[in-house]
Amino acid sequence: MNIVSSIVGLSIMGVAAPMVANMSLQPIIAQKRSVNFSLAEATAVTYAGKNEQGLSLTPTPDGCNVVEIEEKTYSIVCVQGEGKYKQSATRSFTLATLTDGTETSSGYSAPEAYTPGVYCPLWDPWGVQSYNAAHNVQCIPVPYSHWAHLYDGEMLW
């Protein structure tokens, strides 16, 4: 190898070295941002799921902010990380709409309170078809599908 090719090769490497170093760090930066997004999303999804159709809001987790969109409809924004690693996730949810016993336009009247210890049967999981009216109660809705193994109440079918 002669001196000219050595000088040219070294000068190209001198110019390209910062770009090569930057490219080698990108996977590490992406991984850190991904971890921060996962944490922010998990917090937002958990909070939204916990408060969906609840009667009132639970305490807001650290790093999150709850914003009321309209009556009984909220959005939670959770932020994780700092600087260029900062990531955020947003989820929306609604609280339960309770009525005073008057029917809505759909014909459904949400209960003000459930009858303690009375769970809705499998054939009427919300109690709105006929169970509540026939038994003069407001049965507690029970998720019989993939959460059925968690249900320890009386089986009514």
* 43-70 per-position pLDDT tens digit: 999 999 888 877 788 999 999 999 999 8
Q: What is the average pLDDT value for the chain, to the nearest integer?
A: 78
Whole-angstrom distance between the N-terminal and C-terminal Cα of the chain? 88
Alpha helices in 52-103 (DSSP H): none
The CB density around residue 64, as the number of other CB atoms within 10 Å, is 19
Residue 51, CA distances (Å) to 18, 59, 111 in order:
49, 10, 18
- pLDDT of residue 38 exceeding 80: yes
Could you tell me the two tokens for 156? 């009514």
pLDDT at 56: 84
What is the H or E stretch that residue 57 is in?
none
pLDDT at 91: 93
* 77-102 per-position pLDDT tens digit: 999 999 999 999 999 998 876 655 55
In whole angstroms, give the CA distance from residue 27 to residue 1.
35
Work out the average pLDDT over 117-125: 79
In whole angstroms, give the CA distance from residue 36 to residue 39.
5
